[in-house]
């Protein structure tokens, strides 16, 4: 019995840390969501009503979910296709290091590079004016300010995919390398083509890897705030005004009651999304 219960002692430190540093603080946030920030007076669901009627909150929620819905399928699909291509080549260790390089770069450096390329008088706009419009950029003028238009959404999405594609490829490669090669060889001998082997052998065998990749990509999509903030500031174009911008601006204004209510709503939505993903994976 002692050996069967030994797992409790291994999980206890981790669970204690989560309880003290995550669950208890979040429980306090839930409590504060029903109180006023200054007087601590109980107001019921008033804070929730205020944030749900807030235009900035609705805009931030919409942009965050649009960003997630656009980036995750693209990231997962690109990572899988590149991993399948790389799995047939040698020197995987060197390739993995190369693809993980963007994750090692400081966020500030990445933001500065993208800003230098895409702001109104950036390098990209300059050469676009020269090669597409003809003439010098001084005479033709620069193209649109990508950071000040709706194109900023796709710029931010490109930044996210570029930075996270490497670890996605590495996770796919780990799953692909764990597949039984004899099964693939037997299918090939039986006349199964690449597409058939992908649909009937590779994808079912990569089901657990796909779940891990989708969940990690889902969580990382909410960490894009640093890039958006460093590139466009606390009040960027409406298309990239995310939840993190909203929380930052509320924190500056000390709207802690609204922050608490919004945090509870977002936490509930995120938890529901992960549970739905888990249920969908079990059903499939």
Locate 278 and state its tokens. 């888990």
Q: How far apart are CA 112 and CA 227, in angstroms?
A: 9
CA 33 to chain centre: 26
Going by C-alpha positions, the residue among 50, 58, 71 that lies closest to residue 246 is 58
CA distances in angstroms from 247 to 234, 242, 250, listed in the order given? 10, 9, 5
3-state secondary structure of 221: helix
Count of helices and strands (H, E) across the chain: 16, 0
- Tell me the pLDDT of the chain (284 aa) as tens digits: 556 777 788 888 888 999 999 899 999 999 999 988 888 889 889 999 999 999 988 998 888 889 888 999 999 999 888 888 887 776 666 666 666 677 667 777 777 777 777 766 666 666 666 665 555 545 455 555 677 777 788 888 888 888 888 888 888 888 888 877 677 777 777 677 777 777 777 878 888 888 888 888 888 887 777 777 777 777 788 888 888 888 888 888 888 889 999 999 988 888 888 888 778 777 55
Going by C-alpha positions, the residue among 157, 149, 145 that lies closest to residue 118 is 145
- Helix, strand, coil proportions of the chain in percent (round to 5)? 80, 0, 20
């Amino acid at each position: 019995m002692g050996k069967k219960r030994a797992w409790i002692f291994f999980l206890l430190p981790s669970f204690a840390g989560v309880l003290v540093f995550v669950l208890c603080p979040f429980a306090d946030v839930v409590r504060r969501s029903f109180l006023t920030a200054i007087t601590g007076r109980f107001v019921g669901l008033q804070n929730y009503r205020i944030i749900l009627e807030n235009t900035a909150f609705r805009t931030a929620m919409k942009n965050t979910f649009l960003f997630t819905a656009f980036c995750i399928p693209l990231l997962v699909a690109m990572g899988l296709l590149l991993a399948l291509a790389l799995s047939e080549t040698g020197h995987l260790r060197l390739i993995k290091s190369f693809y993980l390089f963007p994750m090692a770069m400081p966020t500030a450096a990445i933001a500065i590079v993208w800003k230098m390329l895409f702001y109104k008088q950036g390098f990209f706009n300059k050469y676009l004016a020269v090669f597409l419009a003809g003439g010098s950029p001084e005479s033709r003028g620069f193209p649109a300010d990508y950071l000040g238009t709706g194109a900023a959404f796709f710029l931010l999405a490109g930044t996210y995919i570029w930075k996270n594609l490497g670890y996605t490829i590495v996770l796919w490669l780990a799953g692909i390398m764990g597949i039984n090669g004899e099964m693939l060889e037997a299918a090939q001998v039986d006349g199964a083509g690449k597409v058939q082997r992908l649909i009937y052998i590779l994808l079912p065998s990569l089901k657990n890897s796909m779940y891990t990749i989708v969940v990690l990509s889902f969580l990382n999509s909410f960490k894009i705030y640093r890039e958006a903030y460093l590139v466009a500031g606390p009040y960027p174009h409406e298309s990239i005004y995310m939840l993190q911008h909203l929380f930052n601006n509320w924190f500056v204004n000390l709207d802690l009651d609204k922050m608490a209510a919004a945090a509870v709503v977002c936490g509930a939505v995120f938890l529901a999304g992960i549970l739905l993903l888990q249920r969908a994976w079990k059903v499939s």
